[in-house]
A and B are shown apart, each in its own frame.
Chain A
Amino acid sequence: MKALLRRPSGAIGLVLVAVHVAIAVTAPWIVPHDARAISAALMFSPPDAAHWLGTDHLGRDILTRTMLGGRQALLVTAIATPLAVAWGGMLGMYLGLAGGQRDDVAMRLVDALLSLPWILKMLLMIVTFGAAPQVLVPVLAFFYGVPVIRIARAATQGVVARDYVLAARARGHGRFSIILREVLPNVRDALMVEGAMRWSWMLLAFSSLSFLGFGVAPPTPDWGLMIADSRSFLAIAPWAALAPVAALSSLIIGINLTADALAKALGLDRAHSAPQ
């Protein structure tokens, strides 16, 4: 953690993420206006003292809606990310250790799943099961866990040939015990970085779904939805689109900076680390 904060990118990234999480948690009590209050008089009013970031096409306060707009996305992805890393990581480690035909079959399935465009997979699921958060969490966790399998498997394969794994096998430890005791400590760092990256992509996917009208239903405030709504009025009220775009990008940049610094601090990013 200290090593993370010592790097400028890590410090900036962590602060960005922390501010976003803090706003998302406390937003219902600190927002200046009612997020759903419509007013014809206030339509497209530019930023002023009462409405710091102006209002949208229905006269709703942009600042209020932006502060509340990340709650759904953060909640869903914050649950789905650990789930994705957990199942993808476990399966990847198992396949890396087991090898053989099981590994071959599973990895071809993974290739097949990864070859489909993500939007197609997501839409198929949403059309079938709906877009409620209790559907989105397992769906996101499932699809975003698939690439984690590859990462965990590759990291495991780097470890299984090591003598300490061989030693554990020679002692007669079970597969599960070897995964937990010998493999996981060596794969953990890669999984943490991978988790941070998955999180940012998941956020982007969630917002894209809302943007397309498949995610959060109006009138609940959501960044993707807000960007979609204000897109048509970009020429007359650019502030309406700018605020959610800035919020979403800053969060994603924050997560990516953190992941990047994490990778360097953990020494995964060999290209940039100093030679020993």
Chain B
Amino acid sequence: MTVPLIDIAGLEVGFTSRDGVTLPILRGVDLRLEPGETLGLVGESGSGKSTLALAALGHLRQGLRVLAGQVRFRGQDVFALPPHRLSALRGGSLALIPQNAGQALTPTMRIGAQVAEALRLHATCAPADIPGRVVQLLARVRLPTPEAIARRFPHELSGGQQQRVAIAMALAGEPAALLLDEPTTGLDVTTQAHILELLRALAAESGTTMLYVSHDLGAVARVCDRIAVMYAGEVVQEGPATHLLRTPRHPYARALLAAIPRIAEARIPAALEGRPPMPGATGPGCAFAPRCTLAAPVCQTHRPAPAATEDGTVRCHRASETAQPLPEAQPLAATAPGEAVLSVQDLAVSYASPGPLAQLVGRPAGGVAQVADIRLEVHAGETLALVGESGSGKSSILKAIAGLLPPAAGRISLPSGPLAAAVDHRRPDEVRRIQLVFQNPDESLNPHHTIADILAQPLRLYHRLAGPALRARAAALLEEVRLGAHHLDRLPAQLSGGEKQRVAIARALAAEPALLLCDEPTSALDVSVQAAVLALLARLRRERGIAILFVAHDLAVVRAIADRVAVLYQGRLCEIGPAEAVYRRAAHPYTEALLGAVLEPEPGWQPRLLGHDMVERGPPARGCPFQNRCHRHLGPVCNEQAPPAHELPGGHVVRCHIPPA
């Protein structure tokens, strides 16, 4: 057998807490990376996957130190290397591609100059050859017109293009291995799919070894040959991607896979209860035992050792008993939609504010509105999802409905009548009926308030409750979201991400709303927790008849929960209709592109890439909003005329020049 490129043996990394206790972050990690291999490192936040990836580079975050074990790169212990050898290794033989490449690029330097700098530092190429090599590298990451890109500044590129430049810079030193830390997180689905295809192609072309860190099993499934699942600083299962995805042996890997919503059917995935232990909070037994459905007495007392099986290694006492199908997902119960609780007519939102002169003359702002011609209705007891990539205007529509962003045109009305544009001018009862749930509960819950204070605010404001009655109602609300009264006196920081989001939902419920506006309510959460929040929303819709307007970019999540779907591009509606119809027979080219880019954690899953990822600077003044990226572009008619609305049975409306089949 050859010498592995990276050999991590018995690695323990930890830090010393204020009380002088040593707390481990990584616990006995063994991992080998052979040349030319692509290994995916997956796990929830806090599982230690990023720490492990950085340790492979010989880097530890401040305060961390190696407690035991070693990391060998081509047989050399990287932590024993002197600083100058280590920095030659990084960037030269090992290159890191971070999550936010846009922030890693210097904003005041042209792309070409930045790539040239990487070449000068790490490559042995003559100064005269550098300009040529820059263009070569940019072409290698499939950037169109590399000569033109080299002359641009980072802000002139899209997020996907910036990420490609980061990859080009990492390739400058012809590294033996690439370390990718969540390289596509934060990118749009279609862009992500394109970047992953590029990485696959690079690995196939030049045999570059890759260590790919991600929380997204779908992305990992697409790129990696082998997968290692991490939990509480341990690798709990490691093996070939096909086996691990099809028959996961470790209960945690099974639960993680089961928690991922799938695009094929409207089902709420099975949630994984509990949360991962804090560093140092693991007992003598298996770290996963408290959340494991298969836990036996031995799991509480003895830490399982990694055991080799025919397909990789598993750290579980009961691995032999777990080769069963995954837990079933719950089908989404259909509800009969009631009356319309909200109707939006010809809504438009514009961020351009008129200049001082135009203000004097009283002329409206020029330019094209960011959001225009939005027409939709939400009915009691139904979930309408707004889907689209960043810049599609989905959050702006939500804010306009909530009265936080005055629309440039259009009418938003409740059954009781039209609503004022600004929330300050709406009647208290109108405000009460529409409640918001934000994306990130860390942002939407004031860190200085206890949970009781947070829930008390709407209860006092809308229901004039006080004293014991208020506390009893707050406790009842927590019950409703499956939390207990013992949470009342805690601060948000003492809760997990999923618990915080449930508090945010309880706060919205306190108003007894008719409509819940959810702005990406699960995208800041781990998959295991996401499933529980989706189940909660589905239950509220069913039991209380609440209407939900659900904004998301993740099509699998939308599939799990939505009755109807509205697809948005550049602030314009492309397609709206029953979820079943939209997912089965996507009629609009953009819906097709979005659905094609979805990655499922299935071995051999092939995304269908249509069109290309490119920068859109804003909606075009005329014609179809999707004209620049459309793969079924008809010709001048698409650029000149606004697409007509075709009505299909079941309230399915498609706005496209191509008549739906």
Contact B461 A173 (CB under 8 A): yes
In the complex, chain B residues whose CB is within 8 Å of the CB of A166:
404, 436, 438, 444
In the complex, chain B residues whose CB is within 8 Å of the CB of A170:
402-404, 423, 431, 434-436
Asked if A117 lies at the interface with its beta carbon under 8 angstroms from chain B, I say no
Interface positions of B from 435 to 462, Cβ below 8 Å from A: 435-436, 438-440, 443-449, 457-458, 461-462
Asked if A182 lies at the interface with its beta carbon under 8 angstroms from chain B, I say yes
Asked if A186 lies at the interface with its beta carbon under 8 angstroms from chain B, I say yes
Report A89 CB to chain B, min CB distance, Å.
16
Find the A residue at minimum CB distance from B444.
Answer: A163
In the complex, chain A residues whose CB is within 8 Å of the CB of B458:
171
In the complex, chain A residues whose CB is within 8 Å of the CB of B449:
181, 185
Q: How far is the CA of A48 from the CA of B404 in the complex (A)?
A: 74
Contact A171 B448 (CB under 8 A): no
Asked if B511 lies at the interface with its beta carbon under 8 angstroms from chain A, I say yes
Q: How far is the CA of A274 from the CA of B63 in the complex (A)?
A: 9
In the complex, chain B residues whose CB is within 8 Å of the CB of A167:
436, 438, 444, 507
Q: How far is the CA of A173 from the CA of B460 in the complex (A)?
A: 11
Find the B residue at minimum CB distance from A183.
Answer: B446
In the complex, chain A residues whose CB is within 8 Å of the CB of B434:
170
Report B425 CB to chain A, min CB distance, Å.
10
Which of B435, B444, B446 is within 8 Å of A186, CB to CB? B446
Report A200 CB to chain B, min CB distance, Å.
27
Interface positions of A from 105 to 163, Cβ below 8 Å from B: 162-163
Find the A residue at minimum CB distance from B507.
Answer: A167
Report A155 CB to chain B, min CB distance, Å.
13
Asked if A172 lies at the interface with its beta carbon under 8 angstroms from chain B, I say yes
Contact A173 B457 (CB under 8 A): yes
In the complex, chain A residues whose CB is within 8 Å of the CB of B120:
none
Report B352 CB to chain A, min CB distance, Å.
17
Which of A166, A167, A274 counts the most B-chain CB atoms under 10 A from its CB? Answer: A167
Contact B423 A163 (CB under 8 A): no
Asked if B426 lies at the interface with its beta carbon under 8 angstroms from chain A, I say yes
Given contacts A185-B448, A185-B449, A275-B63, contact A171 B511 (CB under 8 A): yes
Interface positions of A from 154 to 206, Cβ below 8 Å from B: 162-164, 166-173, 181-182, 185-186
Given contacts A170-B404, A173-B457, contact A164 B446 (CB under 8 A): yes
Asked if B124 lies at the interface with its beta carbon under 8 angstroms from chain A, I say no
Report B487 CB to chain A, min CB distance, Å.
18
Contact A182 B446 (CB under 8 A): yes
Interface positions of B from 372 to 428, Cβ below 8 Å from A: 402-404, 423-424, 426, 428
Report B243 CB to chain A, min CB distance, Å.
38
Find the B residue at minimum CB distance from A275.
Answer: B62
Report A101 CB to chain B, min CB distance, Å.
11
* Contact code string B58-83 (vs A, CB < 8 Å = 1, else 0): 00011100000000000000000000
Q: How far is the CA of A163 from the CA of B436 in the complex (A)?
A: 10
Q: How far is the CA of A162 from the CA of B449 in the complex (A)?
A: 14
Which of B404, B440, B443 counts the most A-chain CB atoms under 10 A from its CB? Answer: B443
Q: How far is the CA of A204 from the CA of B147 in the complex (A)?
A: 63
Report B273 CB to chain A, min CB distance, Å.
26
Interface positions of B from 35 to 87, Cβ below 8 Å from A: 61-63
Contact A172 B431 (CB under 8 A): yes
Q: How far is the CA of A274 from the CA of B18 in the complex (A)?
A: 11
Q: How far is the CA of A274 from the CA of B436 in the complex (A)?
A: 36
Contact B404 A171 (CB under 8 A): no
* Contact code string B179-196 (vs A, CB < 8 Å = 1, else 0): 000000000000000000
Return the 6 tightest CB-CB contacts between A and B, nearest first: A185-B448, A172-B431, A163-B444, A163-B443, A163-B438, A164-B446
* Cβ contacts A to B, 5 pairs, < 8 Å: A163-B438, A171-B511, A172-B424, A173-B461, A185-B448
Binding site for A on B (CB under 8 A): 61-63, 402-404, 423-424, 426, 428, 431-432, 434-436, 438-440, 443-449, 457-458, 461-462, 507, 511
- 9 further A-B contacts with Cβ under 8 Å, apart from A164-B444, A170-B403, are A162-B443, A166-B404, A166-B438, A167-B444, A170-B404, A172-B424, A172-B426, A186-B446, A275-B61
